[in-house]
Structure 1
Amino acid sequence: MSVRLSEVSVGDQLPPLSVPLRRVDLVRYAGASGDFNEIHWNQRFATEVGLPDVIAHGMLTMAVAGRLVSRWTGDPGAIVQYGVRFTRPVVVPDDGTGAAVELSGKVSKINDDGTVKVAITAKSADQGVLGGASATVRLPG
């Protein structure tokens, strides 16, 4: 999908996106990022440190949330600013299904410089996993 600035209004909803995360995705992300912390792959260790199960990497959760915006713009390079707060981990059970990150977004502001601010909501297991998530994008006219 690709969107133009002239087609956007405050309040517009982005098409929702559901991203499945399975343990294999965590292993692949660990290899790509170099983050091999045991809470992301070892259930025994994760529960010993007080987690309910293995959890997804925070930066992986942030990345899949960013996919909502880049899919809407049609150009990942259109994102000029992106930020989140990590509020709750995404628990990824070892059941073959894993966890789903449910993403939605809406246009919250059209700035004077022609950029657009998008507020992002990310949930897993019906609970918010990111707070204050937003992206500023530059769209073609």
Structure 2
Amino acid sequence: MTPPYRVGDELPPLEIPVTRTLIVAGAIASRDYQDVHHDAASAREKGSPDIFMNILTTNGLVGRYITDHFGPTAVLRKVAIRLGAPNYPGDVLRLTGRITELRTADASSADASSDEVVDAVEAVVQVTGGNGIGRHVTGTVAVTLPEPSAKRTGA
């Protein structure tokens, strides 16, 4: 059964060390080959003190923060973020979140061969992330939390 959540609940913070490896691996994984994400000299030539994290890596870390908290059955429905201060190597990204809305939603079972319908709760979470420079990311995440005990069959 899904644990009881309330509007206003704070998620525990998650601190992520920002390493060169994380920045470069995130850029490669998201096929973002812009030199400012892997080449320090090129980043400096373009006015940055060092390489910096791309938005897709930040987006993935925000998603990880939510699914780490709500568990493996949580399904991200929408992730909308805005970047602020860059994430440079050697800093720490600290993510925090607060539930701003809870609503009931119907979701089809993950098993496509089944006619089972699952009652689910959707949570909307306001997420912020800061580093040593300031606010790196702000955003809103909608996540569906299936309730196994509320399963029913039907079309």
* Structure 2 equivalent of residue 103 of structure 1: 95
Match of 2:125?
Answer: 118
Displacement, 1:51?
A: 1.4
Native 8 Å contact 1:117 1:136 kept in 2: yes
Q: Deviations over 1:51-87 (max 9, x none)?
A: 1221111211121122110111112652111110122
In our comparison, the structure showing a higher alpha carbon Rg is 2
- The partner residue of 1:137 within 113, 136, 143 is 143
Q: Distance in 2 between matches of 1:17 and 1:124?
A: 12
TM-score normalised to structure 1 length = 0.82
Which residue of structure 1 lines up, in the alignment, with residue 112 of structure 2? none
> Which structure has the highest strand share of the two?
2
Query: Aligned-residue CA RMSD in angstroms?
Result: 1.9
> How many percent identity over aligned positions?
26
What are the ranges of 5 or more consecutive residues in structure 1 without an aligned counterpart? 93-97
- Do the aligned residues in 2 keep the contact of 1:90 with 1:99 (CA within 8 Å)? yes
Distance 1:130 1:43 in 2: 22
| Contact 1:40-1:57 at 8 Å conserved across structures | yes
Aligned length, in residue pairs: 132
| 3-state SS of paired residue (1:8) | coil
Higher relative contact order (CA 8 A, sep 6+): 1
Gaps of 5+ in 2: 106-120, 148-155
| Structure 2 residue identity aligned to 1:135 | V
